[in-house]
Amino acid sequence: MRALGPPWTRGEGEKPAGERDMGTWTASVYTAEQQARLGVDEHGQPAGSAPGAGDGVPPQPQGRVGLIGPAWTRGEGEKPAGERDMGTWTAAVYTAEQQARLGVDEHGQLRGAPAAAEA
């Protein structure tokens, strides 16, 4: 089964005009004006509906899913000071200075450490 993106990505309906800073990426969201006019929540779902209802995309798990983020998100280690434009989102990366000082690559992996297994 192939999941489809939101209707506006397929030219159906109105594109969100707002943005929400998610820390290391930016989400497209419907503004308060769009929500009132279109009768949707900030994610484009009909007001009062469950996430994913009626958009052809299976609902995403809510809350914890058994994964942990990078050490710096848990207060362990130094936070990346750089950013890399990934087109539709921005990645937090370690600067050249941080890489040299900490002995890590731009993703915070120790130099010479084995790469994480691909899923």
Give kind and range of the element (H or E) at residue 33: helix 32-38
Structure confidence at residue 13 (pLDDT):
84
30 exposed, middle or buried (CB, 10 Å; 0-12, 13-18, 19+)? buried
Q: What is the pLDDT of residue 87?
A: 86
Question: If you ran DSSP here, which 8-state letter would residue 79 be given?
Answer: P
Phi, psi of 100 (to 5 degrees): -65, -45
- pLDDT for 95 equals 95
Tens-of-pLDDT digits for all 119 residues of the chain? 556 777 778 788 899 999 988 888 888 899 999 988 888 888 888 876 555 454 444 455 555 555 677 777 778 889 999 999 988 888 899 999 999 999 989 988 888 755 555 44
Measure the CA–CA gap between 25 and 49, rounded to whole angstroms: 25
Under a CB-based contact definition with an 8 Å cutoff, are residues 17 and 24 in contact?
no
